[in-house]
């Protein structure tokens, strides 16, 4: 199983020192853990990296130049970043599917694995939205590209309400069908109020792992989840 911890804009250096100490003392076999801290803490995570992989929460759609405040994929590569979340619903208000496609291309060109977030805003919303997100964001890469799709129904993020296993399986089937049609066959993760209790039921879904937000802030609970999936 793959577990991605998205710290979003939380914690500070003092907290992250404790997080890494805790994780370094509690290695979990057989689960691929990818930690995605805010940009400024990436050098600290890179320097102290042990058994987990290092990811980021966003990247520029451009390779260099007049992009004040942005960070390029090649800059992330300098710090051993191997994965990067793109298209998170927290960011979709500021970017289009086209923008996200550019980010995915930059990451793939720099051999960083994009974790592409897709998902509907409201429960039972038509699947056309997800299909369009997939079609456009995957339009600039070829069939050999490595990436993960993170299915995150926006209505299930951060509220303690997860989608049911059968709901997730239905959406995952649609995602798999669409990416197959586009020539891909890549891992699919689920995100949205996953915790160390409900993961026992959710791991029965046809997914390859989880993208967790709030749970990342409790390293003890994150370690419990890692041992259960
Ligand atoms: P929660 O796990 O807090 O619902 O957040 C999910 C998420 O947005 C991860 O990217």
Q: At 31, which CATH number?
A: 3.20.20.70
* Total domain count, the chain: 1
Which stretch of DSSP H or E encloses residue 210? Answer: strand 209-212
pLDDT at residue number 29:
86
pLDDT at residue number 162:
86
Please choose from 36, 57, 158, 189 the residue to mutate so as to test ligand 1's pocket, defined by most ligand atoms within 8 A of CB: 158
DSSP one-letter code for 163 = P
Domain membership of residue 99 as a residue range: 2-228
Ligand 1 atom index nearest CA of 159? 4
State the Cα–Cα distance between residues 210 and 229, nearest whole angstrom.
9
| pLDDT tens, position by position, 159-183 | 778 889 999 999 999 999 999 999 9
pLDDT at residue number 148:
98
State the Cα–Cα distance between residues 33 and 17, nearest whole angstrom.
17
Ligand 1 atom index nearest CA of 191? 6
The residue assigned the tokens 């993961």 is 199
Given a cut of 70, the residues of the chain with pLDDT beneath it are: none
Going by CA atoms, what residue is nearest to atom 5 of ligand 1?
213
Residue 152 in contact with residue 118, Cβ under 8 Å?
Answer: yes
pLDDT at residue number 218:
97
pLDDT at residue number 88:
98
Q: Catalytic residue positions? A: 88, 152
The alpha carbon of 144 and the centre of ligand 1 are apart by a number of angstroms equal to: 28
Residue 137 in contact with residue 116, Cβ under 8 Å?
Answer: yes
Residue 41 in contact with residue 71, Cβ under 8 Å?
Answer: no
Nearest-10 Cα torsion for 72, 74, 80, 86: 40
pLDDT at residue number 161:
84
Residues 6+ apart with CB under 8 A from 8: 38, 57, 90, 213
Ligand 1 atom index nearest CA of 158? 4
Angle 97-109/128-137 helices, nearest 10 degrees? Answer: 40
Please choose from 192, 197, 207 the residue to mutate so as to test ligand 1's pocket, defined by most ligand atoms within 8 A of CB: 192
Prediction pTM value: 0.97
| pLDDT tens, position by position, 127-155 | 999 999 999 999 999 999 999 999 999 99
Residues in contact with ligand 1 (CB, 6 Å cut-off): 6, 88, 152, 157-158, 191-194, 211-215
């Amino acid at each position: 199983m793959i577990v991605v911890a998205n710290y979003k804009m939380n914690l500070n250096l003092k907290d992250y020192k404790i997080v890494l100490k805790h994780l370094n003392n509690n290695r979990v076999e057989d689960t691929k853990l990818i930690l995605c801290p805010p940009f400024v803490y990436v050098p600290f995570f890179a320097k102290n990296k042990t058994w987990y992989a290092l990811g980021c929460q966003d990247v520029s759609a451009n390779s260099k130049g007049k992009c004040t405040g942005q960070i390029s994929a090649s800059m992330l590569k300098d710090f051993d970043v191997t994965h990067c979340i793109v298209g998170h619903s927290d960011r979709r208000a500021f970017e289009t599917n086209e923008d996200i496609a550019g980010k995915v291309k930059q990451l793939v060109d720099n051999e960083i694995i994009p974790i592409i977030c897709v998902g509907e805003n409201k429960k039972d919303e038509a699947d056309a939205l997800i299909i369009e997100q997939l079609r456009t964001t995957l339009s600039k890469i070829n069939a050999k590209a490595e990436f993960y799709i993170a299915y995150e129904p926006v209505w299930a993020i951060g509220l303690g309400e997860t989608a049911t296993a059968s709901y997730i399986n239905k959406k995952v089937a649609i995602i798999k069908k669409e990416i197959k049609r586009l020539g891909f066959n890549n891992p699919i993760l689920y995100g949205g109020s996953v915790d160390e209790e409900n993961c026992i039921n959710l791991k029965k879904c046809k997914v390859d792992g989880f993208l967790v937000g709030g749970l990342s802030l409790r390293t003890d609970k994150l370690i419990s989840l890692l041992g259960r999936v």
